[in-house]
Amino acid sequence: MPRPSPSSQRPASCAERASRPARQRGLSLVELVMAIMVISVSVTGLLMVFNYSVRHSGDPMVRKQAVAIAEAMLNEVLAQPFTYCDPQDAANEAATPPASTAACSGGAAGSQDRGGGALGPQPSGEGRFNATNPFDNVADYHGYATNGVIYGMDDGANRITALDGYSVSVTVSRAGATFSLAADAALRVDVRVTGRGETVTLTGYRFRYAPHSIG
């Protein structure tokens, strides 16, 4: 009976073991289910983020529109005269311009800011788009407000339908004390625009720089 050769009895070398095909092991059912769950949760999270981004991608434009409306209104208000007396007051037509609210017709009570009383249109019949009796000084705009409709800054009939949904409100207050001046020497103007989920407030100041008939 032939004896096995010595080479057939020696253990396999590392190189020989490495050359043998590795035994492959597949995923178990539990591992497969867990992998599917992890992938599903990840995809769901990504879709939620994508959906939020798409739904809110217009927000920057909405805010830019609100800021543009506020800037336009604030510029309109601050461009108005700021005088001791209302520009329609006869005292403003005098050769010597009024040097105080006491020089206005009816005294301080008839001044453009009603002599320390409530600010607002003076005379009370003035309106922003009133062709014959328009707002003509800064204080007239106190209390002005719109309700979801924006008109052109120079024409009450010029409705800007693309801006429907925005509301504007204007508040004017005496602010001279803020700058160590007489209370009525400066006015603070706050313009607030709201709508479409945005709120923007811009603030500006108007100083009475000289007792001229126009400010």
pLDDT digits (tens, 9 = 90+) for 1-30: 556 555 555 555 555 555 555 555 666 777
Strand partners, 199: 194
Placement of tokens 């924006």 in the chain: 150
Query: The tokens of 118 are what?
Result: 């409530």
What ranges do the domains of the chain cover? 59-207
First and final CA of the chain: distance in angstroms? 129
Which residues does 76 contact at the CB level (< 8 Å), separation at least 6? 153
What count of other Cβ atoms lies within 10 Å of the Cβ of residue 166?
Answer: 23
* 86-109 pLDDT, tens digit each: 777 788 776 777 877 777 776 666
Most confident stretch, 47-61, 87-101, 105-119: 87-101
Compute the average pLDDT of residues 190-214: 84
Alpha carbons 86 and 135: distance in angstroms, whole number: 10
Query: The tokens of 109 are what?
Result: 């009570």
Predicted TM-score (pTM) of this structure: 0.67
At 26, give phi and psi (nearest 5°).
-80, 175
Alpha carbons 20 and 88: distance in angstroms, whole number: 106
Q: How far is CA 168 from CA 7, 61, 69, 145, in A?
A: 99, 18, 8, 5
